[in-house]
Amino acid sequence: MRVRDIVITGDPVLHSASEEVTEIDDYIRDLVEDMYLTMDTAPGVGLAAPQIGIPLQIFVYDWEDESGTYRNVAINPKLELSELKIRDPDPETESEGCLSVPGERFALLRADHATLTALDISGASYVLKASGWLARILQHEFDHLQGTLYVDRLADKEQKAARKAIKANGWGIPGQFWSPGDDFLEP
């Protein structure tokens, strides 16, 4: 098991759709172990395979709230969302971050509820009905598998600020990454 480098925005692997997993073999099992370790080390509450340069439909997540503890892998996931009620996002409670845009936070509106259907590491299908921050995490990670980053979804004002921050950090070009455990880019 090893901590993998995390790809930073600008690399094509983050901006293209990922492939379905056809078989959960030793390669996939090892990859998922590395993803958990990388997520925990970063630290983050979710990590998608393209973020470590692997264009496969896999993400891991780790979240705990009053409703329970949620730590699992989602392989070949599908996601159903509740209707998005358009309003301005609250910067206090709805600011999102991403390990591929490390250290930055921008407010983004998300659907309140999400239903995930995915395979776990044993290949069994499961359903997770999520609300609140867990629903946000699932939407964020699912987006990664479609080649969408949360900064792509920001409204005009936040979008502008995000573009500026990405440029100021020298990101937005291929081949850049950071190393959790060696670099400390996430609070």
Applying CB under 5 A, does 14 fall inside the site for Zn ion?
Answer: no
Helices (H) and strands (E) in the chain, counts: 3, 9
Catalytic member of 96, 104, 141, 158: 141
Q: Which residue has the tokens 């980053």?
A: 149
Q: How many CA atoms lie within 13 A of 87 on its CB side?
A: 8
Applying CB under 5 A, does 37 fall inside the site for Zn ion?
Answer: no
Cβ distance to Zn ion smaller for residue 31 or 151:
151
Q: How far is the CB of 107 from Zn ion (least distance, A)?
A: 15
C-alpha 152/C-alpha 87 separation (Å) is: 18
Applying CB under 5 A, does 145 fall inside the site for Zn ion?
Answer: no
Cβ distance to Zn ion smaller for residue 98 or 114:
98
C-alpha 107/C-alpha 93 separation (Å) is: 8
Q: How far is the CB of 46 from Zn ion (least distance, A)?
A: 7
SS (H, E, C) 126-153: EEEEEEHHHHHHHHHHHHHHCCCCHHHH
Among 54, 98, 151, 154, binds Zn ion (CB under 5 A): 98
83 is catalytic: no
Active site residues: 141
Give me the residues that bind Zn ion (CB under 5 A), please: 98
